[in-house]
Amino acid sequence: MASESYDGDMGNRGAFSRRKLSVRKIITFAIILLLLLAGVFFGYRFLTGGGKGSDAATMMGDATKSLSDIAGPAQTNFFDLPEMLINLRSDQPRPAFLKLSVSLEIDRLEDRVVLTNVLPRITDTFQVYLRELHPDQLQGAEGMLRLREELLSRINAAVSPVVVRDVLFREMLVQ
C-alpha cells in the first residue's frame, strides 16, 4: 500500500513538475514571430510594387522615370574660367603659389552670358578665398573635395540667379 501511494504521488508530481516557460522565452518567441511576420509583409509589398500594381512594365516605367529625374538635365554646358595664379598664405620665407584652371558646369546655354557679365565678381570671390589657404590644406583627396565644395557654394552665391551644378578642376598645381 505504501508503494501504491508513493507511485500515486509520483504520478501527480510528474504532472506538476513539467518545465514552465519563462517570461524571457515567451517574449523572445513573440519578437521573432513579429519580425517574421513583418518580413513577410514587407517582402510581399516589395514584390507587388507597394500596392501600385504588380505589372512589371509599370514598375520598370517608374524606375526609369525616377532615374531620369536623378540624372539631371539632358544637356550639360560648361563655362571655362580664365587660368588663375594665386599667392597662398605661407609661414615659410619662400612663397607658395596655386595655379588653377576651372570649368563650371551649368544647365542652360543662356547662363554663359550671365557668367561672362559677372566674371570679375567670380574671380574676386575665388581670389579672396584662395589667398587665405595654406598649401597643406590643398593636399590629398579630402583637400580637393573641400576646395570644390567651398568654391561651388561661393560661386552660387556670387551668380545668384544662375545655378552652377559643379566646379571641375582642369588644372591645379601647388608650388
pTM of the model: 0.56
Residues 12-48 have pLDDT tens digits of 555 555 667 788 888 999 999 999 998 888 888 878 7
For residue 143, the enclosing domain spans 77-174
Judgement on whether residues 82 and 66 belong to the same structural domain of the protein = no
Which of 37, 56, 71 marks a domain boundary? 71
Which residue has cell 565678381? 121
Cell, residue 27:
517574449
Bridge partners (DSSP) listed for residue 100: 84, 172
Counting the structural domains of the chain, the total is: 2
Judgement on whether residues 67 and 84 belong to the same structural domain of the protein = no
Cell, residue 102:
576651372
Judgement on whether residues 139 and 163 belong to the same structural domain of the protein = yes
Judgement on whether residues 88 and 150 belong to the same structural domain of the protein = yes
The pLDDT of residue 15: 52
What percent of the chain is helix, strand and coil (3-state, nearest 5)? 55, 20, 25
The pLDDT of residue 4: 52
Q: What is the CATH number of the domain that holds 149?
A: 3.30.479.30
The pLDDT of residue 42: 85
Judgement on whether residues 45 and 120 belong to the same structural domain of the protein = no
Judgement on whether residues 8 and 61 belong to the same structural domain of the protein = yes
CA pair distance 143, 125, nearest whole angstrom: 19
For residue 130, CA distances in Å to 53, 62, 133 come to 54, 44, 5
